[in-house]
Structure 1
């Protein structure tokens, strides 16, 4: 049972749901369950959630929350993202506690990947 008053689920918009699903399946090994033609859910990825068909996108530049994935090998993750069709929106940079990069997945939404390693 989910805990009260804790983040339980996150939903992302996607302009191209099929491309979004293919990207996350290929790059990160996620699996999806479709709920009709305009929604697909994922589980066991640190936080459950889904993608919904929308002409809107999620971007931190527009004030949206930024979901950040963790990686033990940031450079390898960056290569996987670009090879899988993602676009790097912020190259790797350092911040107190680690390094990260931002990317846009093929459906248009922005996420980031961070690592605590050098």
Structure 2
């Protein structure tokens, strides 16, 4: 499970790249009850999603040429420069070289060898998200990839991740991701990696990370999202041993998922 006691390789930040930050803030406020706090004039349009006064995500304009609206998952690192070297050595690409964000911390953005974008956050004054694993907050990260074996090798090399492979029927396997726990006890699963199906590949699907937000009522939150312009990818459905989940695209095209149930919500 996710925790705010961040150790290397665990998710510690998420942000949304959107063509219209104000409209995106209005959408997620309607769905999750989030408020949006601007980072100020020096923030370049960036700001923070908050719930009960705690930061649960962020959003900013899409700056990269040709960038699609998307959520980006950040993983904790103690040395963004060393992680950038590890990414390159493992066959990934550096999209944004390590840079300081005032005194908040240091970030870098990458693309894995299968084409999925992700980032790292080296904490300074800001450790990461203030709250996870509560209703309407991040509770899971999931990679859909064109090459699961290559992706698993890459992230193992960069973050020392381990995997628990769970057969899903046929030749499909779901790999639960764990980072070295640093002494943390209990459930260390923080996300999953899944091979895109032949049908998805034929339809042109590409590798990408998706955030899962825990919710108290999957159907009600799904209805709020679709009523406010979201597109349905997977309608609410029950997954035995997991819970009730749904997947959508926000009005700008960024995919995200909802889940109520174990292992993400109790």
**TM-score normalised per structure 2:** 0.39
Shift of 1:53: 0.9
Q: Mean Cα displacement is larger for which, 79-88 or 48-57?
A: 48-57
In structure 2, the residue matched to 1:89 is 233
Q: Of the candidates 190, 207, 210, which is equivalent to residue 66 of structure 1?
A: 210
Structure 2 CA distance for aligned equivalents of residues 68 and 77 of structure 1: 13
Q: Of the candidates 7, 12, 21, which is equivalent to residue 8 of structure 1?
A: 12
In structure 1, the residue matched to 2:170 is none
Q: Of the candidates 246, 259, 263, which is equivalent to residue 101 of structure 1?
A: 246
CA separation of 1:4 and 1:74: change in aligned 2, threshold 3 A:
closer
**Matched position secondary structure for 2:222:** helix
Q: Using CA pairs below 8 Å that are at least 6 residues apart, which structure has the higher relative contact order?
A: 1
Structure 1 CA distance for aligned equivalents of residues 56 and 216 of structure 2: 21
**TM-score normalised per structure 1:** 0.79
**Matched position secondary structure for 2:251:** coil
Which one has a larger percent strand, Structure 1 or Structure 2?
2
Q: Does 1:17 align with 2:18?
A: no
In structure 2, the residue matched to 1:112 is 257
Q: Does 1:40 align with 2:47?
A: yes
Root-mean-square deviation over aligned CA pairs? 2.7
**Matched position secondary structure for 1:8:** strand
Moved over 6 A (4+): none
In structure 1, the residue matched to 2:69 is 57
Given that 2:232 and 2:247 are in contact with CA atoms closer than 8 Å, whether structure 1 keeps it comes out as yes
Q: Mean Cα displacement is larger for which, 9-18 or 88-97?
A: 88-97
